[in-house]
Every structure is written in C-alpha cells, then in structure tokens.
Structure 1
Amino acid sequence: MQRELFPTSPNKGEQARRKLLLAALKKIGDKGYENASVRDIADEAGQNVAAIAYYFGNKEKLYAAVLEGVGGYLGSVFGTIAEETRAKLQSGSLDPAEAVEVLKLMLRTLLGEQLGDGEFQKIRLVMIREQSSPSESFDLLYNKTLKPLHQLFTTVLGVATGEDPESPATILRAHALFGQVLAFVVARTTILRRLGVKELTSDHLATIATILDEHLGLICPGLKGAMP
C-alpha cells in the first residue's frame, strides 16, 4: 500500500496547505529551520508568503504541523504491526519465538521505508536534523510517535530475551538494534563507496534484511539462554 505524507482531500484550500507542508519539509530538511525562510518555503510551494500566515499562523506552527504529519506517517507505517502486537502483549499470548519474528518484521519494515522509494526519502533530512539538534517542536514527534514505537519494540525485545523491558540495558539494546537500520541512512555514502556502487539495489536490501534477521536470531535466544 502506497502511503502518503500529509494526506488530504481534493479541496483546493487543503491542497494549498499540503503544498506548504511539503515545501517546508523540503526546505527545512535542506537548509535547517533557522536558514529556511518563509519566502523559501512559499516559493517552493508556489504560494505567496501570506498563505503561511493564513493556513498556519507562522513558521513555527507550520513546522509543528510538519512534524505532526511526519509522526502520523510513521505511525501508519507500523500501524497494523503495532496494533496486532499490542493486542498479543495485552493478552499474554506473545511467546519468545514469536516475539523474535515480530522484531524481525519491525526492522524489515523500517528498512523498507528508509531505503525504499517511498515517502521516507522526503522526511529523511528533517529526521536526521531533529535527532542531532532537536527543535522546540520535537516533543510532538517524540511523544506521539517515536516514544510509543520505541517502547513497543523494547517490550517485545523483553519477551524475546527474558530481560526487563524497562531496564536501561534493554532500552539501549533496542536502540542499538534499531541503529543497524539507521546506519544505512546516516552513513549511506560510506557503504556505497565500500560496495563500489551508486545506489543500493533490491538485492542489497534483501541481503541487509537477511543479515538483520540473522542478528536477531542469534542475539535474542543467546541472551535468553544466558539468563540465570
């Protein structure tokens, strides 16, 4: 299913609002929040500067709407997986072997989004900027989307390994596992040079997915076996 950033109706006004959101996402991703002017954003959207005030009030509220939309998009990416997994956790029916498979699915989903041809390419730079230098609006993204997804992954990891999902070690381990995927985004140029290619192909993605599966297949049972 092809997901869309900032989904909206065909209404002309709503379409103009969406163009401003996409333009802000691009310009702020390229130049940073401070350096992307409202003129830059309006010109990119093919709108006049007054449209930003009309639809959002100001640049700060426009960017807050951008991050809220990004969070909604990421939430939709994991929507079905998250809903089904939370139901199993609540009923106590998720066993360690199944938990490992859920972790594999979540990492594969993240991999497909970050390295595929979908909408993630549009949000990649803003996401990197928010991680390295969070804006005042970062809490919108963190509280509504990133924290719940991170907590879910950590809880499932706890089932898979027998570790306390609220412990710092498990939270850090979950982040390290996520980092396996993020490395291919943040350090993309390095791996392209090492492989001697210009782009990662579908074969590369399949190999990366298999490697991630192998890591989880080794790490989770290994940790559970080491528990006293």
Structure 2
Amino acid sequence: MSSPPPTSETRDRLIEAGIRLFAEHGFKGVAVRDLCTEAEANIAAVNYHFGSKQGLYAAIFDTTLAADEARFREALATITALAERGRDEPSQLATAVNLYVRNLLGPLTGEERMRWFAVLAIREMAFPGDGFEQIYRRRAEPAQTALTRIVIAARQADTACETDCLQAHALLGMIWSFGIAKAILWKRLDWERYTPERIQTISDIITDLMCRALGIAPDRRPGERADTSTTG
C-alpha cells in the first residue's frame, strides 16, 4: 500500500477527527481505522504523519495548546499583575476576577472545535492518560496559580497556604461546571447552545459569586452592563 502524500491538509484533518473521536470515546475506544475514515485519509496516514495513534494523540494536545498559548500566558500575566495591585486598590481584584472568568470560560463555551477539546481535556483530568501532563503543565497549573494569587491578595497574605489552594480549586470548579455539566444546564433551561448573550450572563454571575466568596466588591452586579463611557 502506498504512503499518503505529505500534505498539511491530511494532517490537519486527522487532528480535527481525533479531537472529536477521542473526546467522545476515549483513547482506547478509537481505532486507527476510525480516525482515517473520519478524516477521509489513507489507512496509513496516522503512522505516516504521527508515527502512531499515541503520536497523534500527543500532537492534538501540543497543536491545540500551542495555538492559544501566547494569549493564555499574556492574560494570566495581566491577571497576576492586577491581583498584586489589588492589595492596595481593591477594585483591581474585581477586574482580575472578571478577566480570569472570561478567559477560562471561553474555551468551554466557544467554537465547536474548542468545545470538543475542552471535553477531551476534562476526560484527561478525570482519567489521566498521555495528555494529562501537557494539560497540567500548560493550562491547569498556571490557571490555578493565577487564581491562588487572587485568593491570597484578597486576604492580604504574602504566601499561599493549603486552604488557599483548596479555595482556588473550588472556585475554578464553578467555571468548569459550565463545560462538564452543560447538558444538565441546557436541558433545565431548554437551551440548544450557548449564545454570546448567555455566555456574558454566565460570566457576570460567576464573577459576582467569586467576588462575594473572596470578600471583594464586584465592579458591577449580574445583568448590569459595563460602563463603556470615556472621559476626556
């Protein structure tokens, strides 16, 4: 059997197919033939482009995380800086919480591809496999560290204790629930999808709840529009 041509299109289709199939069925539940059929690729394409099914699985995490890495790191740096300023300016802590929620909520409620990847990432966190270390090192640990910085700034502490880490984990769970348990929410509210308006409402509610839990005055109540006026 001849090898498939070395096209980036075939490689991209295999990654797209892998994100959805692995999210739906887990790593062990997907055969190479399934991946190639879904991607409309030659049966040898997975080995040709990735070396193995494991290679494709690793490439899915590396490619997807790398595509958003710069934005994610920049957002966390801004959030951390706001948290530090919030020790002297409490309003900055509310801004940090709002920015944190919007940046973490986005992938869980955004475009179809990222929603599937979020499901795959959640699967890895529930049942750690070959993608867990990438998720932990490149997303989970930095995200939890940034939120812990907000927690310790809110209580005017210099270093984090175990309770701070537990509180950050609990607060982060509020955001994750809108990805993990979205089917329950959609059924309860008779929704078919997340719309930009619904995502904004969810973001406002989570921000308000997190601020209250941390004893921070939110910059606005849920449902209120942000002040977009400017001063000369």
Normalising by structure 1, we get a TM-score of 0.79
Q: Secondary structure at the match of 1:78?
A: helix
Tell me which of 93, 102, 106 is aligned to 1:108. 102
Mean CA deviation greater in 102-111 or 154-163: 154-163
Match of 1:212 among 206, 213, 231: 206
Asked whether the equivalents of residues 148 and 165 of structure 2 are also in contact (C-alpha less than 8 Å), the reply is yes
1:15 paired residue number: 9
Unaligned runs of 5+ in 2: 1-5, 217-232
The 8 Å contact of residues 119 and 180 in structure 2, kept in 1 or not, is answered as no
AA partner of residue 156 (structure 2):
G
Percent identity at matched positions? 25
Structure 1 unaligned segments of length 5 or more: list them. Answer: 1-11, 223-228
Counterpart of 1:184 in structure 2 is 178
Equivalent residue number for residue 164 of structure 2: 170
**Residue range with higher mean Cα deviation, 34-43 or 92-101:** 92-101
Q: SS where residue 47 of structure 1 aligns?
A: coil
Distance 1:188 1:201 in 2: 13
- Does 2:144 correspond to 1:150? yes
Distance 2:15 2:40 in 1: 12
Q: Deviations over 1:123-149 (max 9, x none)?
A: 132122112211133112212332122
CA deviations 1:51-86 (Å, max 9, x no partner) are 211221111121111122233245345233123345
In 1: Cα distance, 2:85 partner to 2:191 partner: 44
1:15-54 equivalent positions in 2, closer than 5 A: 15-54=9-48
Superposed CA deviations along residues 130-176 of structure 1, whole A, max 9, x for unmatched, are: 12211133112212332122212212322123356532211121111
Rounded Cα–Cα distance in structure 1 between residues aligned with 2:157 and 2:114: 32
Q: Which amino acid is 2:66 matched to?
A: G
Q: CA deviation at 1:210?
A: 1.7
Structure 1 stretch displaced more, 116-125 or 140-149: 116-125
1:100–1:157 CA contact under 8 A, matched in 2: no
Contact 1:100 / 1:216 at 8 angstroms: preserved in 2?
Answer: no
Deviates more, 1:147-156 or 1:37-46: 147-156
Judge conservation of contact 1:154–1:174 (CA < 8 Å) in 2: yes
Give the TM-score of the pair, scaled to structure 2: 0.78
Question: What RMSD over aligned residues (CA atoms) do the two structures have, in Å?
Answer: 2.7
User: Which residue of the partner structure matches residue 194 of structure 1?
Assistant: 188
Equivalent residue for 1:131, pick from 117, 125, 136: 125
Cα distance in structure 2, aligned partners of 1:165 and 1:72: 30
Superposed, which structure 2 residues align to 1:63-142 within 5 Å?
A: 63-86=57-80, 93-95=85-87, 96-117=90-111, 119-142=113-136
Bigger fraction of residues in helix? 1
Q: 2 CA distance for matches of 1:181 and 1:83?
A: 19
The alpha-carbon distance between structure 1 residues 157 and 127, as it changes in their structure 2 partners (threshold 3 A), is same
Would you say the 8 A contact 1:99–1:160 is kept in 2?
Answer: yes
Offset, 1:36: 0.4
